[in-house]
Structure 1
Amino acid sequence: MSQTTAGAASVVADNPAHPATAGGPTVGSSAADRAVKRQRVLEILDSSGSDSLLLTSNTALTWYLDGSRVHISLAGDPIAALLVDRAGDHLVTFNNEAARIAAEELPDGVALHSVPWYGNLREAAAGLGDGAPLTESAVVDELRAARQQLLPGEGARYARLCAEVAEMMTDVLSTATPATTEFEVMSRLSARVVAAGAEPLVLLCNGSSRSEFRHPLATHSPLGRRAMAVVCARRNGLIANITRWVRFDASTPQELDAEARIAAVEADIFDATVPGARLDRIFTEIKSAYARHGFGPDQWELHHQGGPAGYAGRDPRVTASATDQVVLNQPFTWNPSGPGVKIEDTVQLTEAGVQVLSVDPRWPVSTVNGLARPVTLQL
């Protein structure tokens, strides 16, 4: 095993064809998509006058590697660092991870290097190039712009994941009862997410006794007459976000009115999500929409409003300081909410307008501004 700079040992050079387990994350990785991503990074290097870029975050690594799993603990740092230079791509991982990375995660054309499990990934990767590389922190905006527009391969993978997560919600919530506990709902959803080869990043549930909480971590409380479930699931690096409601007795006029009004807020956000729109100006429209539909001028302050989606839960969350411009084929998850109501789906902006990705035709819907939107499932 030959030695390279910074103590990184070369494991795989110009990665030959490697076996990918059926349904594994490398299945469906697109060489064409990866070529576009590499070109986008090279353009970042050109504009900055640099020769290399060091990628170290889970968001950047999974995007650039087209969905490779570069984590062990969901709460931990990536177990890899990647140097992109004008000659090629160099991934550094720990010696106890290298064989699995080579066999199951590494795209073609990426050289793999290893350091001891106690080594420093960033130093080793940076040392593979000439001179100090750019760091992610120096080009945050440029990298986010590079991953805004979903390419064909990743767009297809994302749509499949979102549809599967919507189906999970239908299956699990349609079999719930008022006596089902929040933890039982979450355990059933978690099992389905993992069985689909995805990772449950966020699981939330509140029954009727806890409906005032916007981020309700599950408890042993029974669902009661009405409940909300939220899932954020990641596969191939892409994160699907969805919220659904279920009710076990007759709805009240107040509930139906609030549900219709929050869907109207979302419809106004969709109308503002057009190519070229700036996120801070969409944020201004969001605040106006709450007031316009009877939630008062300050409701937006009680929960974040969502934003672009994809390789991060929100990329970024929309605020008054977010000035990114919307582009075609960009995914979004907006999530307006009010007292006892919330609506959330993962969508993509296409030439035909907003396309909902997290959709299951079995779930009840109403038409809002020409778009089918989920309503509470009445059991």
Structure 2
Amino acid sequence: MASSVDIVPDLDSLNELDATAEPQDAALEPQEPTADAHEPTPASPRSQDVAMKQQRVAEFLEDEGYDAVLLGRQDSFAWFTSGGETSTGVAADLGQVILFLTRDQRCVLASNVESARTFEEEVAGLGFQLKECPWHEPRERLIEDICRGRKVAADFGASGTVQELDKLRRLRINLTELECQRYRELGRAVAHTIEAACRNSKPGNTEHEVAAQLSHRMIRHGITPVNLYVAGEERCGQFPLPIHKALPIRKRLTIRATGRQYGLCASATRTVFFGQPNAEFLRCHQICCMVDASYIFFSRHDEPASEVLRRAKRIYEKTGSPHEWILAPQGGVTGYSPCEVLAVPDSPFRLRAGMAVAWTPSVGAARSGDTVLIHENGFEFLTPCQEWPVVSLTVKGFELERPTVMVL
């Protein structure tokens, strides 16, 4: 760890300062990475999780012919560190801290501002080394120094590296046992906060107020709000992804939201009516639930994502809504990003057991959606309804429940 430096001058010597003197370069010379002073914790579930990810990186390096990997995105940092966070804002893709990984070593690249907090709060005892630079120096210099003479794959456009974001993303979409455990807890909490926000909203509340209430509930559970789509009846049918505005809710409220914890993202959608819903909306919502049920049922191990999409398109067509799937993305694999792999026609990508999916069908103003974990012989709802009405649907003889409209 870098030592602290007292930058407050002696007041008695202020008169001796020479304003005409040439400034001296205070930059630190490049240093070898320093080791984590914390004792390693090889038996902890988190350290075992990091070791598994190190093995995935090692296999990637061997298969692709690289010497090292550079991870600069926030979602990549959270994945490899098994839930670590950088201090960058929610909306930023790139973090303040970069990971440099070889087959058997892992190093944190950070400024002197971020290094102490990162080692104390995010990667303590996980076997990381540190390579530090002053905050006022461009971090590109640090990257060039550690990558020199090596063939390096990166998840962002770092100079002297090969951008391999798509391939590196594939390393993280098969969830580990620890990630599945975390996902279950996160999913239930996300569903709970969305349902509570719906139940506690009233006609006259603005979309902003509902979004603020939902954010407050999530943060109380240690969840970071990522995507919040909150809309009343006037806007949900106009736009596929309505961002909340200072508009009052009158008859209907739909919330589609994503919450993040330990880097993992869980999403769910719920709709509430204040008074009796109209027949046309109920018809659209029933179709939407049918499409959603098809997506979930056919999200199976080794199933092409394009085939899951094709089957859902058939439901759209049979129910008189053939073009609805074109109007908005239908979702796909989720994980450390709200959408890791988007399902599109003709994609060769295949779903695997241990992946999470979040489908987002829509019909007119109606929405449906939950986060689901794929198993070898079935699936598991990660965002199950808790205090919410459901409708039972049958797909190929199998019954599954989808959230229906709550009437208040």
Aligned to 1:371: 400
Which among 191, 212, 215 is matched to residue 190 of structure 1? 215
Distance 1:373 1:123, change over 3 A: farther
After superposition, residues 24-35 of structure 1 pair within 5 angstroms as 30-35=46-51
> Is 1:349 matched with 2:374?
yes
| Equivalent residue, structure 2, for 1:266 | 292
- TM-aligned CA deviation for residue 18 of structure 1: 9.2
C-alpha contact 2:293 2:402 (8 A) present in aligned 1: no
Number of the residue aligned with 1:23:
none
Q: Which residue of 2 aligns with 1:82?
A: 99
SS at 1:209 equivalent: coil
2:317 is paired with a residue whose SS is helix
Match of 1:131 among 150, 155, 158: 150
In structure 2, C-alpha distance between the alignment counterparts of 1:276 and 1:348, rounded to whole Å: 14
2:25 maps to which residue?
none
Larger mean Cα displacement after TM superposition, 98-107 or 286-295: 286-295
Structure 2 residue 73 is matched with structure 1 residue 57: yes
What TM-score does the superposition give when structure 2 sets the normalisation length?
0.84
Deviations 1:166-221 (A, max 9, x none): 11112221111112211111010011122222221111211122231221111222
CA positional deviation for 1:7: 5.3
Residues 378, 11 of structure 1: alpha-carbon distance in 2 compared, 3 angstrom cutoff: farther
Query: Counterpart of 1:117?
Result: 135
**CA separation of 1:8 and 1:362: change in aligned 2, threshold 3 A:** farther
SS in 2 for 1:79: strand
Alpha-carbon offset, residue 279 of structure 1? 2.0
State which of 219, 222, 231 in structure 1 corresponds to 2:248.
222
Alpha carbons of structure 1 residues 123 and 274: separation in structure 2 relative to 1, 3 Å: farther
**Structure 1 residue 287, shift from structure 2 partner:** 2.6
- Structure 1 residues 186 and 46: alpha-carbon distance in aligned structure 2, compared to 1, 3 A threshold: same
Shift, 1:38, TM fit: 0.9
1:243 to 269, 281, 299: 269
Q: Which amino acid aligns with 1:234?
A: R
CA-atom RMSD in angstroms: 2.4
Contact 2:198 2:253 in 1 (8 A): no
What is the match of residue 94 of structure 1?
Answer: 111
Task: Tell me what 1:308 maps to.
Answer: 333
Instruction: List structure 1 runs of 4+ shifted beyond 6 angstroms.
Output: none
Cα shift at 1:85:
0.8
Match of 2:16 in 1: none
- The corresponding residue for 1:16 is 38
Q: How far 1:29 moved relative to its partner?
A: 6.0
Q: Which residue in 2 is equivalent to 1:24?
A: none
Query: What corresponds to 2:360 in structure 1?
Result: 335
Q: Please name the residue that 1:171 is paired with.
A: 196
Q: Deviations over 1:47-67 (max 9, x none)?
A: 122221111222222111111
Counterparts of 1:159 and 1:8, CA distance in 2: 44
- Among candidates 168, 173, 176, match of residue 151 of structure 1: 176
User: Does structure 1 conserve the Cα–Cα contact (< 8 Å) formed by 2:54 and 2:103?
Assistant: no
TM-score (norm 1): 0.90
The equivalent of 1:22 in structure 2 is none
Partner Cα separation in structure 2 for residue 301 and residue 192 of structure 1: 33
Unaligned runs of 5+ in 1: 20-27
CA shift at 1:104, angstroms? 0.5
Distance 1:371 1:118, change over 3 A: farther
Q: Which runs of 5+ in 2 are unaligned?
A: 4-27, 156-161
Alignment check: 8 A CA contact 1:63 1:147 kept: yes
Q: 1:295 aligns with which of 305, 318, 321?
A: 321
